[in-house]
Amino acid sequence: MTGSQAGATALILCGLTACALSRQLAQLEVRHDPFILLDKQSSQYAGEVLVVPRYSSFQGVASGGGHGPGAGRDRVYLAAPFLYRSGEPFIPEQPNSAGFVAAGAFLGKGVSLDGVLIVAPGYRPIWLWSLWDKGSSRSITLVPLSREDGARQLHEVSALLHKEFLRGDERELWSLGGDATIEVRLAPDEIATVDAFLARSMLLIQPTGKS
């Protein structure tokens, strides 16, 4: 059954049976208690970091009220970047899933947060996916880079976030394998925030004697 055929089937079911509007998170909320970022001396890192979430979305029809197999379209994308400081509540955006539930089938769009990339100037970027486990540590140790490698890493992040799509090795920072493409869905004001952060970060790690 194709996605369009499945959609038509669900609409027919919605017309023949009780059909309930569903608008809620597709997953549990992440823990909002703070992360503690530690530098190489194991003291708390005081600067800002950039957090870039990765999301997965499904649009179409799924069985099991939205949790089982179905027919539709899957996408992976980056969106809703934000600045974060160690010790603050951690509240990444988690979009609602919206659609209709009828006869055990879900017709609509579901969105899940997969994890986040943390970018700190002068340190190796960290992919963080353990955002829900109540037993996991909230301390994150940042791994330092040389000034040259730190500058190169910031340039790479900037270049990737200005693309429309990431493919192949470009997806490595966001820990995605297989053949899936990552869409970059940053609004103009979010791009401005990213650019301003990366510009400040470059000044912080500028090699001595260079302007």
As a whole number of angstroms, the distance between CA 109 and CA 25 comes to: 11
Query: CA angle, 61 as apex, 59 and 64 as ends, to 5°?
Result: 120
Task: Look at residue 73 in the predicted model and tell me its pLDDT.
Answer: 64
As a whole number of angstroms, the distance between CA 64 and CA 178 comes to: 26
Q: What band does 5 get if pLDDT is binned at 50, 70 and 90?
A: very low
What DSSP assignment string belongs to 74-138?
Answer: EEEEE---EEEETTS------PEEEEEEETTEEEEEEEEEEEEEEE-TTB--EEE---S-TTS--
pLDDT digits (tens, 9 = 90+) for 42-64: 688 889 999 999 999 887 666 54
Q: Provide, rounded to the nearest whole percent, the portion of the chain with pLDDT above 70.
A: 73
Count of beta carbons in the 10 Å neighbourhood of residue 73: 10
pLDDT digits (tens, 9 = 90+) for 12-31: 444 444 455 555 555 678 99
Residue indicated by tokens 């998170």: 25
Task: Calculate the average pLDDT of the chain.
Answer: 82
- The answer, yes or no, to whether residue 135 has pLDDT greater than 90, is no
Q: Are 30 and 90 in contact (CB under 8 A)?
A: yes
Q: Name the phi and psi angles at 85, rounded to 5.
A: -120, 140
Distance spanning both ends of the chain, measured CA to CA: 60
Q: Which helix or strand (DSSP H or E) is residue 204 part of? A: helix 188-204
Q: Which residues lie closer than 8 Å to 79 by C-beta, 6 or more apart? A: 53, 55, 93, 185, 186, 190
- The answer, yes or no, to whether residue 163 has pLDDT greater than 60, is yes
For the entire predicted model, the pTM comes to 0.80
- The answer, yes or no, to whether residue 9 has pLDDT greater than 50, is no
Task: Look at residue 10 in the predicted model and tell me its pLDDT.
Answer: 42
Q: Answer positive or negative: Cα dihedral of 201, 95, 187, 75.
A: positive
Q: Name the phi and psi angles at 155, rounded to 5.
A: -60, -40
What value does the mean pLDDT take over residues 118-136?
93
Domain edges within the chain: 3-204
pLDDT digits (tens, 9 = 90+) for 68-101: 445 556 899 999 999 999 999 999 999 877 666 6
Task: Look at residue 39 in the predicted model and tell me its pLDDT.
Answer: 87
